[in-house]
């Protein structure tokens, strides 16, 4: 059928399939009955075609680092199935997820979107996720292929990575997704790899992905991430997104006619698009791109369970779990207490069906009479976004003149326009007038802020207050397309109504090639300098002080990296002062990665919640009061200080980059591999996590001490000897005892998570194979396991080995890749 269609298609029709029709859909060819399909973000929810900050509501699941923290691929597979059905509710058949880039620094703005610093844990979670999604007839799209471990200059920077590090660390999750999960789509990254854009990197997209791994799906660009006509199609990039065509269309037809691109190359790419449509059943089902909000009780329950399994208990001197019956007064404190920060920022954002804040969750568990609240301090990067009715009038042209062509009412002061609401509007030649009223609750100084991707002026009661026209320069907001937030202070009176009007004009050209316009404005009253004192007084007479701190989607977001690993604002001070007045202080963290904790020994417990989705507050209450165990384990090492990390040095070429290049000088020594090599003691090691019960570990049993073609099986007996149900994660690391090449001291090669009732026993079953003993030999062009002795380490985490035993490989083993020619250039020194 596919070849018959291709035979009937003109060159122009084949080329048309190789670009999107618009932001979210592919091109249909009505003449031949070739349908269009819709794609949707994202990793922790299916958003549909709406704005990043609005649209039809969706189920919001835990972020990827939380999924990595579960160490539970089977449960993540269930989430994949649920996500696929959420995608269908948005009329979409391709999910733009999962993200499997490696935690290299902890400062990556998208650290929360990625699973782990370890390629094996990343691979196992990703494979389960993909299998779950694709089992329901929806395609998964693994991304970003490859080397996108930072958001700094991400659209142009070259990630210079040697081939050994690529093969052993950064490519492995993609390889396993292809070979084990048969992933249907791959998304190229924005960056260059060794000075060649990944979207036109023939070695990466064709030699490795298709010829070596046997990938038979499609490769699409990240949005606006393709840069050429001839180079990209010849390298193996099938689909340019979004549409309409920029470097394809007539340009590609011309390239074929002049001989720069073979007609067969276009035909093969079109065949892969058609094959995807066939695999998704698009030819058999009428295209329905309608969107609806589907809020299922089984999704709610799954999100709540995932949240608890992702929660990592980092410190506990016995105060947790809290006994509800013994609590008369609980102080709930902190900037993350009354606000539900359920996900990070950027394209991973979800307009959740609902959001349960930690304060709401604790009130639901204890009742109003036993809970008191104080914010203490702020941690926002931007002024609080305006919440309330906003009327938006749209105009053709950039002057807000004439009659509006469309009017709508929104519920907040933030807008991102991928698509405009009326056909008459052109993204580079439209304007919008936003009108709202604001009534202060208190008199005094208020901060008004605005950031705009485009040009904007903000008026308060007719007076120009913020001028976002003059001297406009790109800043860090909205993926680098908006300016840095401008702020102005005004004295406002409580109870008085103020008219806020924003006049917005689209840019005539798109920053960094990204077709994005947007505006965000907000008003907030600065917290009094006494806010921390008020929180201290609240904590003074409480039985326990629960301090909810961390970051939010303004910090953990696509488009910018973090400035450091400290808690923003005065949060460290808040924790220390509350702990000094209340000996029963518990710190609950919401971050997308590690933070420094100089106050660690001053609190009785520390609980890391990440961003666990719409059930956040219920998850917090479940774990704190013992209705669920925090059974997560760290998927990323927490350093004592940011400078302990492998990539954070005085050499800026290693991070954040220099002269348009970032050199992965640490090679394979990422995460715990680096801490083992240097002897630096982390704050918390990779794989660490406490629980509410105790386990006895039996001595491991192995099927053989000689490694053979079938591998070696290892079993470990566990018994729950505590009084509560709980989970334990058994981790198996390989330590090579004799090497002719520098290798990590140990590497994770298998793991198993068991959940047991009190008194119950179970077996952790682990298997290692020949490749688990290997390293990648660049000159040979393959994986090599040298003959000799290896030590298998059975561990609770990377810093706590429980037992070990030796195995032997009698003769060296090699697994050559299919092609060793056209290898990537070595990283620049």
For the chain, which residues make up each domain, given as ranges?
Answer: 9-279, 299-377+540-663, 387-524, 693-816
Segment 367-393, tens digit of pLDDT: 999 999 999 999 999 999 999 999 999
498-519: burial string, b at 16+ Cβ within 10 Å, e else: bebbbbbbbbeebbebbbbbbb
pLDDT at 420: 85
* Other Cβ atoms within 10 Å of 582 Cβ, number: 23
Residues 222, 247, 299, 572: which is the catalytic one?
Answer: 222
| Separation in Å, CA 196 to CA 136, 227, 779 | 36, 11, 22
Tell me whether the CATH fold assigned to 9-279 matches the one assigned to 299-377+540-663: no
| Separation in Å, CA 136 to CA 79, 129, 187, 496, 828 | 12, 12, 21, 54, 44
Residue 511 sits at φ, ψ, to 5 deg, of: -65, 135
pLDDT at 286: 75
Q: What is the sign of the dihedral through the CA atoms of 662, 667, 673 and 675?
A: negative
Segment 260-313, tens digit of pLDDT: 999 999 999 999 999 999 999 999 887 788 999 999 999 999 999 999 999 999
222 is an active site residue: yes
Average pLDDT of the residues of the chain: 95
Residue 9 sits at φ, ψ, to 5 deg, of: -80, 140
What is the Cα gyration radius of the chain?
Answer: 27
Say if pTM beats, i.e. exceeds, 0.85.
Answer: yes
Classify 9-279 by CATH class: alpha beta
* Other Cβ atoms within 10 Å of 770 Cβ, number: 18
Coil/strand/helix, residue 760:
coil
| Separation in Å, CA 513 to CA 156, 168, 479, 653, 753 | 11, 33, 11, 25, 45
Q: Would you say 517 and 507 are in contact if contact means Cβ atoms under 8 Å apart? A: yes
Positions of E strands within 225-279: none
Residue given tokens 């994005």 in the structure block: 516
Is the model's pLDDT at 151 over the cut of 50? Answer: yes
Is the model's pLDDT at 827 over the cut of 60? Answer: no
pLDDT band at 80; cut points 50, 70, 90? very high
Is the model's pLDDT at 829 over the cut of 50? Answer: no
Rounded mean pLDDT, 38-61: 89
Residue 655 sits at φ, ψ, to 5 deg, of: -170, 135
pLDDT at 826: 46
Paired sense of beta strands 139-145 and 94-95, if any = parallel
Residue given tokens 């629980």 in the structure block: 691
DSSP 8-state symbol, 208: I
353-372: burial string, b at 16+ Cβ within 10 Å, e else: bebbbbbbbbbebbeeebbe
Q: Would you say 329 and 705 are in contact if contact means Cβ atoms under 8 Å apart? A: no
Q: Please give the CATH number for the structural domain made up of 693-816.
A: 2.60.40.10
Cβ neighbours for 776, distance < 8 A, ≥ 6 positions apart: 163, 164, 167, 168, 782, 783, 784
Q: Return the structure tokens found at 616.
A: 């956040």
DSSP 8-state symbol, 746: -
Segment 723-755, tens digit of pLDDT: 999 999 999 999 999 888 999 999 999 999 999
Paired sense of beta strands 330-333 and 371-374, if any = parallel
Is the model's pLDDT at 824 over the cut of 70? Answer: no
CATH T-level topology, domain 299-377+540-663:
Rossmann fold (3.40.50)
Domain at 387-524, CATH homologous superfamily: Galactose-binding domain-like (2.60.120.260)
Which residues face 545 on adjacent strands? 331, 585
Segment 570-588, tens digit of pLDDT: 999 999 999 999 999 999 9
Q: Would you say 717 and 668 are in contact if contact means Cβ atoms under 8 Å apart? A: no
């Amino acid at each position: 059928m596919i070849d018959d269609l291709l035979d009937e298609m003109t060159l122009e029709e084949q080329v048309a399939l190789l670009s999107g029709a618009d932001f979210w859909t592919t091109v249909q060819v009505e003449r031949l009955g070739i349908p269009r399909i819709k794609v949707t973000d994202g990793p922790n929810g299916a958003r549909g075609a709406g704005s990043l900050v609005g649209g039809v509501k969706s189920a919001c699941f835990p972020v990827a680092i939380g999924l990595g923290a579960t160490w539970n691929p089977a449960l993540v597979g269930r989430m994949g199935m649920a996500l696929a059905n959420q995608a269908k509710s948005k009329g979409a058949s391709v999910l733009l997820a999962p993200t499997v880039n490696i935690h290299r620094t902890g400062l990556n703005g998208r650290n929360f979107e990625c699973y782990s610093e370890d390629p094996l844990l990343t691979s196992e979670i990703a494979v389960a996720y993909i299998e779950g999604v694709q089992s329901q007839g929806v395609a998964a799209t693994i991304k970003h292929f490859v080397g996108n471990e930072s958001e700094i200059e991400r659209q142009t920077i070259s990630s210079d990575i040697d081939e050994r590090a690529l093969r052993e660390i950064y490519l492995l999750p993609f390889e396993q997704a292809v070979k084990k999960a048969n992933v249907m789509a791959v998304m190229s990254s924005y960056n260059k790899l060794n000075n060649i854009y990944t979207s036109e990197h023939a070695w990466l997209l064709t030699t490795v992905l298709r010829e070596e791994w046997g990938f038979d799906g499609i490769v699409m660009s990240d949005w606006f991430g393709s840069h050429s006509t001839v180079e990209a199609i010849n390298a193996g990039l099938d689909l340019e997104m979004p549409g309409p065509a920029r470097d394809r269309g007539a340009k590609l037809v011309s390239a074929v006619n002049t001989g720069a691109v073979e007609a067969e190359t276009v035909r093969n790419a079109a065949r892969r698009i058609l094959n995807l449509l066939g695999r998704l059943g698009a030819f058999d089902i009428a295209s329905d791109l309608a969107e609806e909000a589907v809020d299922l009780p089984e999704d709610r329950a799954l999100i709540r369970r995932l949240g608890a399994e992702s929660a990592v208990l980092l410190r506990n001197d016995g105060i947790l779990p809290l006994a509800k019956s013994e609590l008369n007064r609980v102080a709930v404190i902190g900037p993350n207490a009354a606000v539900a920060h359920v996900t990070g920022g950027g394209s991973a954002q979800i307009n959740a069906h609902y959001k349960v804040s930690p304060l709401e969750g604790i009130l639901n568990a204890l009742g109003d009479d036993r809970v008191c609240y104080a914010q203490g301090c702020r941690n926002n990067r931007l002024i609080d976004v305006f919440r309330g009715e906003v009327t938006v009038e749209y105009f053709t042209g950039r002057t807000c003149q004439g009659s509006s062509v469309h009017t709508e009412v929104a519920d907040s002061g933030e807008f991102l326009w991928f698509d405009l609401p009326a056909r008459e509007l052109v993204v580079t030649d439209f304007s919008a007038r936003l009108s709202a009223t604001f009534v202060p609750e208190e008199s005094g100084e208020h901060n008004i802020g605005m950031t705009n991707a485009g040009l904007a002026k903000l008026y308060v009661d007719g007076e120009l207050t913020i001028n976002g026209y003059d001297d406009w320069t790109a800043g860090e907001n909205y993926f680098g397309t908006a300016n840095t937030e401008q702020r102005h202070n005004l004295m406002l009176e409580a109870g008085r109504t103020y008219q806020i009007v924003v006049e917005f004009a689209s840019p005539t050209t798109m920053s960094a090639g990204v077709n994005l316009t947007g505006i965000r404005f907000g008003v907030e009253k600065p917290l009094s300098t006494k806010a921390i004192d008020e929180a201290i007084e609240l904590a003074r007479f409480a039985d326990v002080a629960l301090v909810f701190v961390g970051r939010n989607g303004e910090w953990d977001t696509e488009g910018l990296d973090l400035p450091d690993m400290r808690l923003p604002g005065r949060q460290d001070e808040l924790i220390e002062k509350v702990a000094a007045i209340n000996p029963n202080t518990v710190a609950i963290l919401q971050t997308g990665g590690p933070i420094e904790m100089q106050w660690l020994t001053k609190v009785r417990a520390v609980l890391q919640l990440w961003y666990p989705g719409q059930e956040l507050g219920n998850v917090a209450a479940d774990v704190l009061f013992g209705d669920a165990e925090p059974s997560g384990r760290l998927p990323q090492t927490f350093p004592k200080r940011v400078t302990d990390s492998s990539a954070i040095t005085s050499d800026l070429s290693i991070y954040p980059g220099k002269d348009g290049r970032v050199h992965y000088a640490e090679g394979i020594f990422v995460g715990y591999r680096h801490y083992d090599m240097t002897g630096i003691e982390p704050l918390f090691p990779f794989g660490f996590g406490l629980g509410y019960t105790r386990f006895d570990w039996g001595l491991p049993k192995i099927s053989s001490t000689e490694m053979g073609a079938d591998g070696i099986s290892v079993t470990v007996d566990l018994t729950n000897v505590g009084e509560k149900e709980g989970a334990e994660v058994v981790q198996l690391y390989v330590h090579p005892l004799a090497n002719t090449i520098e290798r990590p001291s140990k590497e994770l090669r298998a793991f198993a998570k068991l959940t047991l009732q009190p008194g119950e026993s179970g077996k952790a079953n682990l298997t290692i194979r020949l490749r688990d003993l290997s390293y990648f030999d660049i000159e040979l062009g393959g994986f090599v396991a040298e003959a000799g002795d290896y030590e298998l380490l059975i561990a609770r985490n990377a810093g706590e080995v429980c037992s070990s035993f030796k195995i032997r490989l009698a003769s060296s083993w090699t697994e050559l890749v299919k092609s060793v020619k056209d290898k990537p250039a070595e990283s620049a020194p």
